Amino acid sequence: MRTSKSFKLAEPDIFKKKLLSWSRQFREIAWLDSNNYESNTGEYEAVLAVEAFTAIKTDHFGAFDKLKEYQETTADWIFGYLSYDLKNDVEDLKSANFDGLQFPDLYFFQPQKLIFLKEHTAEFVYLRMVDDEIDGDFEAIRQTEVEEVASLPQLSMQPRISKTDYFEKLEQLLRYIHRGDIYEANFCQEFYAANVEVSPFQVYQSLNEISNPPFAAFLQLEDYNLISASPERYLKKKGSELLSQPIKGTARRAEDREEDQQIIEALENDPKEHSENVMIVDLVRNDLSRIAEKGSVRVDELCKVYTFTQVHQLISSVRARIAEGIPPVEALRTSFPMGSMTGAPKISAMKIIEELEETRRGLYSGAVGYFSPDGDFDFNVVIRSILYNVKNQYLSFSVGGAITASSIPEKEYEECMIKARAMLQVLSGKVE
């Protein structure tokens, strides 16, 4: 079905930049980049998928069944996204909040051309209908001029809810928690700009340059664009092994090395941040146990500090072996949406999120990734991400945090602004 040909690269970093610039000619682009992050545990350093041969685009009704059929029928590489609102397919829930972006709930495509980068090698994996273009494309990429990171128009990003309203909503959320309806909920707020024209590619270049995250993604599907600087893996499947790496717990970076180390130690020893993380780890363990071999769910790392360009994070690693006979898509359906973006108990948290948030999340807090022909997959969590609809000229990003009984609204707002920092810097030139 596909032809594979590999080329050794003398300067892989330069080739990677040229490859991304070369991809701009295609209508459908999926670019996943680990930014050479040492602890990524990914299969590739970067992957480019372009030019759809087939595709599936749907709302949430029966979405996972449709994805299962598409994945099994193509039995090929497919790339795409799952929006947060697929929760309505998994549970009896609804999404009625404002939606300026108007993205489909699910979108995957089967690329004609695939290029994998790993260990100074570019592997071209093309459908046979276009495999005579491999050598020409490799040469064209080598000849491509690397586009410099351009200065962007300074946008005025508006909050969907005011700071005062944010505090009021958090007080309401805390009443639910103190009443015992939930233990934890991830509450998010949107920042947006309407009627704006930007180059999604240039926005991605700028955001990636200042963030360097391990699960970066650039997705262009028709008018729908994702610019993601995600540090978080949702779920990976390799053979029978599953890996989920939820993030809960965030601290700022400091320029002074000594102060930065003090911040790391404070995060490591913060009981509130630990309790947030442990609650979500328990939720992930419970989700995975529904499709895992009995006794195979384990926590390899609990609340380990990982350092990124913009922030420090507490990350845990939960592993399991998928039970025999469970289809790959079922592992996603069973654990979706990811616990780090919902709360506990999960369904109650999602209902309260819908009530208190002002914006339909859409692709934000969903997942982007791929399936391989043999049913393996790897998906990130869509956070620290900018979304843009070219047609209606609406640009948006959202930030949030886990709210627990010990949350202080002012501190939670401050954490949101730490997470928004890189995106605001790229879009408005401001550093809050």
> Looking at the annotation, which residues are catalytic?
232, 248
Return the HEC string of 146-194: CCCCCCCCCCCCEECCCHHHHHHHHHHHHHHHHHCCCCEEEEEEEEEEE
Per DSSP (E only), the strands in 308-376 are 311-321, 343-344, 367-371
What Cα–Cα distance (Å) separates residue 60 from each residue in 94, 103, 134, 412?
10, 11, 37, 31
Are 81 and 366 a contacting pair, CB within 8 Å?
yes
C-alpha span between 9 and 400 (Å, rounded): 40
Continuous segment of H or E residues that includes residue 72 = helix 63-74
∠ CA 95-97-101, nearest 5°, is: 95
Identity at 325, one-letter amino acid code: G
Q: Name the token pair of 122.
A: 């570019």
Question: Which residues are CB-contacts of 407 (< 8 A; sequence separation ≥ 6)?
Answer: 170, 174, 272
Burial 116-131 (b: 16+ CB within 10 A, else e): bbbeeebebbbbeeeb
Q: Name the token pair of 218.
A: 């650039």
